[in-house]
Structure 1
Amino acid sequence: MAGTREATAPILPEEIFWRISYAEIGTLAQVQRPVVTTWARRHADFPEPVAYEGASPLFDGCEVAEWLLSTGRGNADAGQIRAELVLHTLSAWRRAIPARTLVDTVTALLCLRQLLDEPLSELPWCTILERAAETDFEDTYLHKELRDLPDAERQGPLLAVLADHLTEAAYTPADALERVMDARRRLGCDDLAADEPIPLVSRAMARLTGLARLNEREEGATAAVLYPRSGDLLVALRDSVSDAEDSPFFLSADPMPDLARLARRRLMAQGVQEFEMDLADGEELATTDWENPHVIVCCLPYEAAEARSPLAVLQSLQDLTDLLAEDRTAVVLGPADALVRPLPARGEADRLRRDFLEQHLLKAAISLSEGVLPFRPAHRTAIWIDPAPHPRRQAHWPGPPCRPLLTHPHPADPGRTSRGHRHLSRRGLAGRQPPRTAQRRRRPGHRADQRTRCRVHPAAPPARRPLHPHRRRTPGPHLRDRTPPPAADRRHP
């Protein structure tokens, strides 16, 4: 049991009323549901129910949070309890405000608090709007969200109080904003998480780019993200270089303006200045105003298997590699059936995929397990790492094209890979062993194992251990007469 925590004043205003059940109290305190029932039965100071939903009692969330903080019950610390209470309260606000409007308003308030570096609950709503207009004078990331809030004079100050309390629970406005984005599904914004990979894969893709080392080695590194959606990949790239003194320049393009505004708010809360990013509203990167990016990260849009074409997927990758300069890297997450699985032999998609190998445009292919996209649990994906070939390296690379490694995730841990790495064949990137070359001939004493396709040397007979002279066996009586005569007495007939 945790130590007794210090009781605090109500973390929410009285106008906000939140009712929770036994199961939600268990989630709040990070215990099992029967533990909460035991608390209510054994402790007389446990809050009384305020309403009933059928036969299930409902409790006031503020009273339960105060009781947990004062008694020290549960496995959650004070910051987690406050943050969970605010997030559950935000989910209750969905009855008054649409879910997407609620998320946009709260993230705009958290971004504004990060930029102003002062609490917003002490300011009138009209002053908050004036500060937002001064900060975002071009209206590119937060002014519109605060201006278009319905019934803003009454609901705006209450949401500002929630934003301040969530900041105090998470210690910084940036961490508070990321907690809201992690709870986007609980808040009813399934569209913001529909095509986003799990956080583990987003962080892995950011590290595979090597942006942290590149940012230390070169000044003015540029990172680009195609199809950023709600900005998870952009935040993962920013986190990978959070310890660096100079932030890289971020490029992005999204055809949906509201998603581009959300991505700008997340980067601004992370400390990226407005002149350090160019997140365009459209489908093409602003490469005419800036140089070609050093790093490209992309998560291809999901398409159903009936409408998905492997040739179209590979053609989009071919267009992406045209944006790479010399010695640059692209990390792409796409469907596994087009990237690593066998394709019809001698088809257009098969020939195009072989061209990637012949031109050294594929460094590694990583086949991932199911569940990378939470909303598409049966969709198998793979990661391609595409380097831009250096002319000098390509000129001094003799022989056939290299075969990149295909790694498979560990069955117990998707982040690990099994020890057996398999080479990709030129025709099908399915992990098959390359065929035996015609120049390799079998030597005497060797045999080929058809299952493993490797040469096995015949085992040598075990060496006999010589016996001690005193322990040498002498023939028994039944064999003494059959002992051959000495060599000198032998005569040929």
Structure 2
Amino acid sequence: MTLQDVADLARVRRPVVSMWRNRPRVRGLHVPFPAPVEVSGGMERFRREDVVEWLERTGRGNNPEANLDAPALSVPDDVPLDELVTWLCLAVLTGEELADTTAENRITLARGVDPDDRVLFREVEASVPAVCTLRFIDDLVEASYGPREALDRLEQGRAARTLGTRDLTSDAVDLIHAVAEACALHLDPEGVPLVHIGPAASVTLALADTFTHLVVPGDISELRDIRRRAAIREIETVDDAAGPGVRVLSAIGRPADEVLDLVDNLVLDLGEGELGIIIGPAGVLCDELQGEQERHRAQTLRSESLAVALRLPRGMWREAHRQALGLWVCATGGSMQGPLVADLAAFTRDELDLGDLASDVTGALAAARGRAFRYLRPHDLPPILSARTVVVPRGVRALRLATTEIERHLAVINAATLVTSEPIQPFDVLAERAPGAMLLRRRSLGELKDLGHVRVLRGSRIDHSHDNPAGSVTVLSATDSHGTARLDPFDAARLYPRAVRTDPGDVVFAERPRPIARVDDHGGSLVASPSKILRISSQAGIGPHAVAAIINRLPNEPTEWQTWSVPILDTSEVERLEEALLAAVDHETTLWRHLDATRDLVTAMIDGVAAGAVTLTTRTKQ
């Protein structure tokens, strides 16, 4: 097993295994990680039994059934993934263990399940597998919950990693599946076949479950491999479709010219009543092209077969997470006058509902242009053909009718104006020359603590599951100006009997990620760690609001509180400064409240006018 295999077995990330190797002590015992038994291709290999025993002794990892899963991860070296899939297919179709079979036995078994040589007979006849390979297949079948999971383990394991290919994310598969299901329901609610087109098979196999059967025409090795994977997944495959179906082409990762050729061939081959789904790079399907490539795409689009064009959000292809993908839905040529398009990257995850997207696709295929779409927007074909515009403009989304939620928009605007229309009281401070000469003194908080003029008390670790919005005990944090939680007073006394409560005038502060502080003028609150309480005595020569203001103006980097320096003032100056600072805090709070309300008002006005719910009246002064 490699270190990545160990991580997969323990269900942890790969760096965690390296950390285990560097930290041999587990709960006070010295339990070193197993030593490698060999190094192959620059990678260390570990004995499977040693790894399983070590995981059981240490209790590390997140897989209590590691001993059962381990055999499925011991992939033989230098055995191609396709060969492993072939032997897995034979084991699944025959239900026989392969380790003790002879070549003649295996040929007989293959002939029995594949008499027409559509799936695996010639591969079995030509292959001479090692005994360890067949034993691994037997172990894999035994360790898996079924044939599908066994195939998934192969496609996610070491044999697949050596190929260096990465498939689509689960979000991408779900989105394509929703579009494919909408196409199938449009053709026939009773079910239609799925026709595989092109070199890539992962998308086709991910969609095949919801179709009556999978059509895989041809007899080249890539297509036979698709049939084997389909057989393992218990998906019926045929050579020809009995009626109209949905054709699926995945051109992800292919050069632009090859993508255009594949798309053109699919559109030309669409029969009456058939639909085609194309997944490929957005740069080819959605964006601007130049020269011969642009003319090639325009020639394909002149058939008026493009019904829907979508730009998918970035991150849906694991091999190039920054590259956006595009999706086309095509119908028989001449049936679509203009495509409906949408940039799904313009929607947040919460805004994107696959059910509504499928409904939009169904409406587009039915040419129901009178209906309202949630995502799709009609796009004229002539500007695309003349290269005056792209297929899917960035950010394009459905047109919206005027909203019926007029009262809600008005209420938000009116609530904001109630604050912004309030007059702001001026804040003024009368300052005069100080009489005579003064001796300027400064002390650090560490010095004041040693003198007994301040105390620093630790906050408490608070479980946020105890939060009670109706509670009267506030849990304060220096980094959260509104408090992190509220507790019922009985719960606070019962659950946190040793927690320190604040007194009026206590400073709640934190050192990281930057020095920050606030004053609790009311008292009686709990403080959530890592925030601390600074309790200042009357002999300190500085007030709490002055200290908090000084802390909040320290450099934006973590420092130790003992080093923070404050001025030492006369008692009369302390009182006057505190009074002025408290008034400044109140003024600042009012300004922030007006700023927040102004931001809300701007957003509400834009949303309300854009939704057709409100109109603004300009006030003119007489």
**For 1:409-455, what per-residue CA distance to the aligned partner results, in whole angstroms no more than 9, with x for missing partners?**
26886995899876645422242799xxxxxxxxxxxxxx9xx9999
CA spacing shift, 1:355–1:146, aligned 2, 3 Å: closer
Q: 1:86 aligns with which of 50, 72, 81?
A: 72
Check if 1:233 corresponds to 2:203.
Answer: yes
State the one-letter code of the partner of 1:298: L
CA spacing shift, 1:215–1:370, aligned 2, 3 Å: same
Deviation at 1:172, TM superposition (A): 1.1
Check if 1:163 corresponds to 2:137.
Answer: yes
- 1:441 counterpart residue number: none
Contact 2:309–2:339 (CA under 8 A) maintained in structure 1: no
CA spacing shift, 1:344–1:111, aligned 2, 3 Å: closer
Matched residues in 1 for 2:311 and 2:243: separation? 28
Matched residues in 2 for 1:124 and 1:351: separation? 57
Matched residues in 1 for 2:151 and 2:297: separation? 44
Matched residues in 2 for 1:420 and 1:254: separation? 38
Contact 1:423–1:433 (CA under 8 A) maintained in structure 2: no
State the one-letter code of the partner of 2:213: F
Contact 2:338–2:378 (CA under 8 A) maintained in structure 1: no
Q: TM-score with structure 1 length normalisation?
A: 0.61
Q: TM-score with structure 2 length normalisation?
A: 0.50
Deviation at 1:110, TM superposition (A): 1.6
SS of the equivalent of 2:393 reads coil
TM alignment of 1:16-415, pairs within 5 A = 18=1, 20-21=2-3, 25-31=6-12, 32-33=16-17, 34-35=19-20, 37-39=22-24, 42-44=28-30, 48-49=34-35, 51=37, 59-69=46-56, 72-78=59-65, 82-83=68-69, 85-87=71-73, 89-90=74-75, 93-94=76-77, 97=78, 99-100=79-80, 103-121=81-99, 123-124=101-102, 126-150=104-128, 152=129, 155=130, 157-183=131-157, 186-190=160-164, 193=165, 197-198=168-169, 200-210=171-181, 213=185, 217-218=189-190, 221-229=192-200, 231-239=201-209, 241=210, 248-253=212-217, 257-273=220-236, 276-278=237-239, 290-291=241-242, 293-300=244-251, 302-304=253-255, 308=257, 313=260, 316-343=262-289, 348-349=295-296, 351-352=298-299, 355=302, 359=304, 361-370=305-314, 372-375=316-319, 379-388=323-332, 401-402=337-338, 404-409=340-345
State the one-letter code of the partner of 1:132: A
Contact 2:92–2:232 (CA under 8 A) maintained in structure 1: yes
- 2:580 counterpart residue number: none
CA spacing shift, 1:410–1:37, aligned 2, 3 Å: farther
Deviation at 1:266, TM superposition (A): 0.7
**For 1:189-221, what per-residue CA distance to the aligned partner results, in whole angstroms no more than 9, with x for missing partners?**
34xx37x545543443233112664697236x2
Matched residues in 2 for 1:37 and 1:249: separation? 52
Matched residues in 1 for 2:378 and 2:157: separation? 40
**For 1:15-44, what per-residue CA distance to the aligned partner results, in whole angstroms no more than 9, with x for missing partners?**
xxx5x45x7544431342324544555445
**For 1:345-386, what per-residue CA distance to the aligned partner results, in whole angstroms no more than 9, with x for missing partners?**
997457546636xx4x33322113455554456654311112
Deviation at 1:75, TM superposition (A): 0.7
Matched residues in 2 for 1:177 and 1:72: separation? 28
Contact 2:5–2:158 (CA under 8 A) maintained in structure 1: no
Deviation at 1:69, TM superposition (A): 4.5
Identity of aligned residues (%): 18
- 2:364 counterpart residue number: none
Larger Rg: 2
Matched residues in 2 for 1:57 and 1:318: separation? 48
Contact 1:343–1:349 (CA under 8 A) maintained in structure 2: no
Contact 2:34–2:50 (CA under 8 A) maintained in structure 1: no
* Aligned-pair Cα RMSD in Å: 4.6
Deviation at 1:321, TM superposition (A): 3.1
SS of the equivalent of 1:138 reads coil
Deviation at 1:325, TM superposition (A): 4.4
**For 1:366-408, what per-residue CA distance to the aligned partner results, in whole angstroms no more than 9, with x for missing partners?**
11345555445665431111234897xx7xxxxxx55513223
CA spacing shift, 1:38–1:136, aligned 2, 3 Å: same
State the one-letter code of the partner of 1:252: V
CA spacing shift, 1:149–1:111, aligned 2, 3 Å: same
What stretches of structure 1 of length at least 5 have no aligned partner? 1-17, 242-246, 279-285, 395-400, 435-448, 464-493
Contact 1:363–1:386 (CA under 8 A) maintained in structure 2: yes
SS of the equivalent of 1:120 reads coil
Matched residues in 1 for 2:297 and 2:187: separation? 36
CA spacing shift, 1:406–1:137, aligned 2, 3 Å: same
Matched residues in 2 for 1:106 and 1:160: separation? 9
Deviation at 1:174, TM superposition (A): 2.8
Deviation at 1:188, TM superposition (A): 2.1
CA spacing shift, 1:366–1:166, aligned 2, 3 Å: same
Matched residues in 2 for 1:49 and 1:215: separation? 60
CA spacing shift, 1:161–1:425, aligned 2, 3 Å: same
SS of the equivalent of 2:111 reads helix
- 1:482 counterpart residue number: none
Deviation at 1:295, TM superposition (A): 0.5
State the one-letter code of the partner of 1:431: P
CA spacing shift, 1:228–1:292, aligned 2, 3 Å: farther
Contact 2:267–2:333 (CA under 8 A) maintained in structure 1: no
Contact 1:327–1:390 (CA under 8 A) maintained in structure 2: no
SS of the equivalent of 1:209 reads helix
SS of the equivalent of 2:107 reads helix
Contact 2:199–2:251 (CA under 8 A) maintained in structure 1: no
State the one-letter code of the partner of 2:11: Q
Contact 2:194–2:208 (CA under 8 A) maintained in structure 1: no
Contact 2:310–2:392 (CA under 8 A) maintained in structure 1: no
SS of the equivalent of 1:298 reads strand
Matched residues in 1 for 2:156 and 2:142: separation? 17
Check if 1:460 corresponds to 2:610.
Answer: no
Aligned residues: 375
State the one-letter code of the partner of 2:215: L
- 2:582 counterpart residue number: none
CA spacing shift, 1:75–1:148, aligned 2, 3 Å: same
Contact 1:369–1:409 (CA under 8 A) maintained in structure 2: yes
SS of the equivalent of 1:205 reads helix
Contact 2:34–2:54 (CA under 8 A) maintained in structure 1: no
Contact 2:275–2:330 (CA under 8 A) maintained in structure 1: yes
